[in-house]
Amino acid sequence: MRDIIAGFLRFQKEIFPTRRELFKTLASGQTPKALFISCSDSRMVPELVTQREPGELFVIRNAGNIVPSFGPEPGGVSATVEYAVAALKVTDIVICGHSDCGAMKAVATCACLDHMPAVKNWLRHSDAARMINESLHHTTEQERIDGMVRANVIAQLNNIRTHPSVALGIAQKRLNLHGWVYDIESGSLDALDESTGRFVPLAEHSSSRV
């Protein structure tokens, strides 16, 4: 905790003064262009990976970068998606998984989560991805986990399409969806290509979307 406090004090003293005009502008409102949905994993920092400034990304982070399907009792994720699309008018939504995801590893390996009932219940939103991934042949456990990460991104893209604000935005051709998977060790990023249904290197296919 001391390091966190020291970091804030350093920001307040050294960084904030050099960015004063930016924060003055942000104090009266925000106009992010994209909603970025990623995992809560401490190794995955959306603003760092995308090199975005404060105010440029509207971010949702949770275990497994999950977006529950829209239902009669919408939760915090649903409310945040709706606000981003209907109020902030974002033009792009990115759902980004990552390598070595603890949530997806637990699902792929059928790890016992009885001691974490809230986590166990939350990960049920990945059931469709789990069933699809289990139907495929994997030569190694790591391949099974990597497949789960990718299948989950696709499943969450399907889930987010059930949200009325998202469905309307797509129908009006003012909203684009993107599925990404970030590799922590290499720093590379794969994107879901709509024409093939496969994940391809974003560096070589920068226009990939779904």
| 91, 34 contact by CB (below 8 A) | yes
Mind listing the pLDDT tens digit for each residue in 52-83? 999 999 999 999 999 999 988 879 999 999 99
Annotated domain spans of the chain: 1-30, 32-201
Angstrom distance (rounded) from CA 90 to CA 75 = 20
Query: In this predicted structure, what is the pLDDT of residue 44?
Result: 96
d(CA 45, CA 39): 9
Average pLDDT, the chain: 96
- The token duo for 60 is 């949702």
Range 32-201 has CATH code 3.40.1050.10 = yes
Rounded to an integer, the average pLDDT of 139-147 is: 96
Q: Annotated catalytic sites, by residue?
A: 39, 41, 43, 98, 101
The structure tokens listed for 105 are: 């590893």
Mean pLDDT confidence for 182-189: 97
- Determine the average pLDDT of the residues in 173-178: 97
198 DSSP assignment? S
Indicate if the pLDDT at residue 207 is higher than 70.
no
What pLDDT is stored for residue 73 in this prediction?
A: 82
Q: Taking the model in full, what pTM does it have? A: 0.94
- Residue where the block lists tokens 């990623």: 38
Q: 209 falls in which pLDDT band (50, 70, 90)? A: low
